[in-house]
Amino acid sequence: MTSGGRVRYRFDRFAVSPTRRALTCDGREIPLISRYFDLLTLLIARRGEAISRNELLDAVWQDVVVSDGALSQAIRTLRRVLGDDPRDPAFILTVQRHGYRFIFSEVVEERDESPLGDEVRLTATLRVDAENQVRELTSSEAMDDALTRLLQPISSPSDEEDRRDAAELLHMLGTREALHRLDRQTGHADARAVLRDARWDVATAGPVPIFGQPGALRSARVLIGLRLRRLWRLAGSRWSSGVAGGAVAGIIAALVGALALRAGPDSTATNAIFVALPLVGLGVGATGAVGVAGGLVIAEVLFRSRRTLALVVCGAAGGGIVGSTAHLLGLWVLEGLFGGNFAPVTGGVEGLAIGAAVGLGYAAATRTADGGMATPHGRNRLASSLLAGTVCAIAMALLAWSGRYLGAMSLDLVARTFPQSQVGLEPIARLLGETHVGPVTRVVVSAWEGLMFGSGLVLGLTRRPRGHAATNASEPDGLIS
């Protein structure tokens, strides 16, 4: 062990430099995606120790939630890169029902000061040369065998796993050549979809176009099916956490509103509003979060390379759908019970704008998350939620300025119909310096609602579940990424 300073590891024909984030074999760099490199470094640093799957996931995927499958995928890739056989491992041993252990005993630690080799620089020419070397060292029969496995029909979960493994191997052997050999063979459309799905897990993978290719519609349909099956496994826990966050935010926002109403000049509100308003806030917050959180979950699972656009569009769609539905149901109930016309209450346009704003804020706050669903920790999580809430607050303030009716303003509109109502916003308007509810009150109250809703929803959405490794997520890519 070196004392202090930067350290790198040498074993067999390989060298690993955590500082330079480089893995080399005989002086030539082997590209690895970032998380896989972190996993290899951790296993080597704690060599001889059996590290549990949960611990590995928490250490390497600390800012996202992924499943056990993501770790298995990473281990398979590392074994392939190192030329390791899982049946007779020389480097990475599977510890049954626990995790993994790096078992190569002759690891040398040295100070990471001298260059790893003349070829260590990551230039475009080097990457092409490295890919060519892999092709030269690998027989054409290996690619043919992988193509055969990729094209085989699926009859069991193990077949699907084998097909995925074959797709990754083909990316390592050469994506372009694999696509050329694949073209128009029986089952090529399904195989192209699997290749597209696997490309994010191999650092040297090339593009896998779908549209404009033979069997494009079939490939797109298969790819969507892969993503939707993943969505089915993921959506529940993530979505329910987001809804709970929106509901709690609605309660808190309403409690603050109740305090302001009770303390406002000439207020006629009684202590009953401390029960009634939080119940309303809970309903409004949870209902809005049902749509917006649902849209964000769908976007995170189905997309990757266009994540920001997907979060904005899907968040807007979810908010718009729920807003339109709630608007119609609310009108029918209120007009059926009281016979009044409450047309200006919150509807689809407002829901669409709010959902888009939360999606934009969430995307901006978690823009570096990859390989899973964002779960920032501690202050980062709080900062992410506040950024999303701020963007939502700005959007709701603009909506209110333009004359749109949101949560509290819709409630104030209904209250005007009933002279004895305690939930009119006149006392709050007086606190804000207006004699009646005017633009200042509308903007301030709506911005407060937006801040709480966006922050609460994202705070819930990014909750990191305990024991997430086995139950919560798989690695999402993009339907069109």
User: Domain extents for the chain?
Assistant: 7-115, 123-214, 234-470
CA 458/CA 137 separation, integer angstroms: 49
Query: Of 25, 28, 474, 97, whose CA–CA distance to 40 is shortest?
Result: 25
Region 310-326: what's the mean pLDDT?
91
Cα distance between residue 203 and residue 213, in whole Å: 24
Looking at 127-141, 178-192, 261-275, 411-425, which range is the least confident one?
A: 127-141
Res 14: pLDDT: 92
Please report where in the chains the tokens 């709701």 appear, as a residue. 396
The whole-chain average pLDDT of the chain stands at 81
Distances (CA, A) of 466 to 284, 314, 472: 28, 27, 10
For the chain, helix, strand, coil in percent to 5 are: 60, 5, 30
More confident residue, 287 or 141: 287
Which pLDDT score, from 0 to 100, does residue 340 have? 55
pLDDT in tens, 59-101: 888 777 666 677 888 898 899 889 898 889 999 999 988 899 9
Q: Is the pLDDT at 412 greater than 70, yes or no? A: yes
Tens-place pLDDT, residues 448-458: 999 999 999 99
Per-residue pLDDT, 371 = 52
Give the Cα separation of 423 and 126 in Å (integer): 69
pLDDT(42) > 90: yes
Mean pLDDT within 122-146? 55
The H or E element that residue 16 is part of is strand 14-17
> pLDDT tens-digit profile of 252-292?
999 999 999 888 888 878 888 899 889 988 988 999 999 99
The predicted structure's pLDDT at residue 370:
56
Per cent of the chain over pLDDT 90 is 30
* Backbone φ, ψ for residue 398 (5° rounding): -65, -40
Q: Is the pLDDT of residue 469 over 80?
A: no
The CATH number of the domain covering residues in 7-115:
1.10.10.10
Choose between 149 and 395: higher pLDDT.
395
Work out the angle between the directed axes of helices 307-338 and 348-365 (0-180°, nearest 10). Answer: 150
Q: What is the mean pLDDT of residues 358-368?
A: 87
For residue range 198-215, list pLDDT tens digits in order: 887 777 788 899 888 888
Per DSSP, 87 falls in state: T
